[in-house]
Amino acid sequence: MKPRSALTRRGFLAAAGGTMAALAAGCGSEQYVQAAGSVPRQYRKRLHLVFWHSFGSKPGEALTALINEFNESQSDIYVEGQFQGSYEASVQKLSAAIIAHQIPDLVILSEVTWRKMHLADRLEPLNDYFEGDFTPDIYLENFINEGTVKDTVWWIPFARSTPLFYFNRDVFEKAGLPTEGPKNWRELKEWAPALQEHARYTLALAGGYASWYFQGNVWQWGGRYSDGLDVTLEEEKALEAGQWMVDFVRKDKAAYLSPDASVDFMNGVAACTMLSTGNLAAVSEGAKFNVGTTFLPEYDGFGCPTGGSGIGVMRDAAPERKQAAMEFIRWLSQPAKSAQWTIETGYMPVVKAAQQEQALIETAEKNPNYRTALNQLPKTKPQDLIRPIVPSAGEMMDTALQKLYSSNESVRDVFGRLDKQLQRKADLIRETYEARYL
């Protein structure tokens, strides 16, 4: 056990940084107004909801279609979807909006950012909004449980995901390799020379969210990022996982840090990559070859984290808009709508009954890659606490891994520095975390 800091709320504010500090410090009775938006003429007599989200491109089109369907399905509520950039950009804008007392009514928050809003007391507890056949039980337990703290639901699953191992099945066939993909990292390393006769690299490593993908590696080697809020990156198993990946890059010349792993994979630069389930629809459409997906490779064991995002309702929105926001969430939770979102994007169907929707069954029959994540889901688990709970931990870990994949620095030095930096931040929020979560 590492030493605990004596800092409490003050520590949390310092660890959270200026913006989040202002959020927590600003908790009180001040009035908030709705973030700016616009309402088409035909909807001006309805209650207007502002919904901030982080989906562009194909997922953005899919979400817009759902919002439009909802707006046409009833005559009381108008939902205005507003794209705010990535999960990280979105939460920064949300933080600034809270300080300015101009907030959306509901917002997409990642598996990392929702916890920061929860710790800062900015989210509405949702238990009292469930009624009738709309209960937390309709959602997959893995996902609804991640948004539940002390029996209170704070974050509703929506665009949930896991990493998948994507591979170019045509390249594997040309190389004379099994077209089901590798079962473990040793196998992939053995196959790399044959794969690289048909693709420049074996594996494209994503720089963005690198620490989400590497969470699986650490578990596969028998290590972990942290034990609660005690950082364990300097333990031998974590170091071994890092060293194996570094050797795969530097010695074997089989992997590389890609500026955009999905683009490189679709263009045939790399035979394999690790991407989110949320990339599935776009990759399936964009690749000019037979795309395969399989579970993440094992080493000494299996490891795969959950990820993605859900919906939070802002605590300081007007009561009638919070109620309307839950009406919209309830509409999205219909099995047919959950299945529709999965078919259009590749994100997982978060509602249990969605898996029995005929449209999704037919989609999975045509493209079995849609089944991979569902089959892998029982083997997944939430990330080690340090990444989702400590402010900026994900960005710090991503930067450290990018440095490892693109320089000659030693794993022990990089992980050693990172361990100490994360521990200092973790100690600052320990008491606040324990008061809210334990």
Q: Extract the tokens encoding 57.
A: 């491109």
Residue-level pLDDT at 3: 35
Is there a contact between 316 and 105 (Cβ–Cβ < 8 Å)? no
Rounded to the nearest 10 degrees, how much is the dihedral formed by the CA atoms of 299, 300, 301, 302? -20
Residue-level pLDDT at 379: 96
Extract the residue ranges of the chain whose pLDDT is less than 50: 1-19, 25-29
Residue-level pLDDT at 13: 42
What CA–CA distance (Å, rounded) separates 47 from 78?
6
User: CATH topology of 45-161+308-369 equal to that of 163-306+384-437?
Assistant: yes
CA of 124: how far to CAs of 60, 326, 412, in Å? 25, 11, 42
Rounded to 5 degrees, φ, ψ at 178 are -55, 130
Residue-level pLDDT at 15: 44
CA of 51: how far to CAs of 58, 71, 79, 81, in Å? 18, 13, 7, 5
Render pLDDT for 274-286 as a digit per residue (tens, 0 to 9): 999 999 999 999 9
Alpha helices (H) in 308-406, listed in sequence order: 319-332, 335-345, 358-366, 369-376, 386-389, 393-406
Q: Kind and range of the H or E element at 292? A: strand 291-294
Give the CATH architecture of domain 45-161+308-369: 3-Layer(aba) Sandwich (3.40)
Task: Please state the domain extents for the chain.
Answer: 45-161+308-369, 163-306+384-437
Q: What is the DSSP string of 143-158?
A: HHHHTEETTEE--EEE
Render pLDDT for 412-427 as a digit per residue (tens, 0 to 9): 999 999 999 999 999 9
What CA–CA distance (Å, rounded) separates 433 from 393?
15
Q: What sign does the CA torsion over 206, 210, 214, 216 have?
A: negative
Q: Check if CATH label 3.40.190.10 holds for domain 163-306+384-437.
A: yes
Render pLDDT for 74-106 as a digit per residue (tens, 0 to 9): 999 999 999 999 999 999 999 999 999 999 999
What CA–CA distance (Å, rounded) separates 255 from 247?
9
- DSSP state, residue 225: S
| Three-state DSSP class for residue 295 | coil
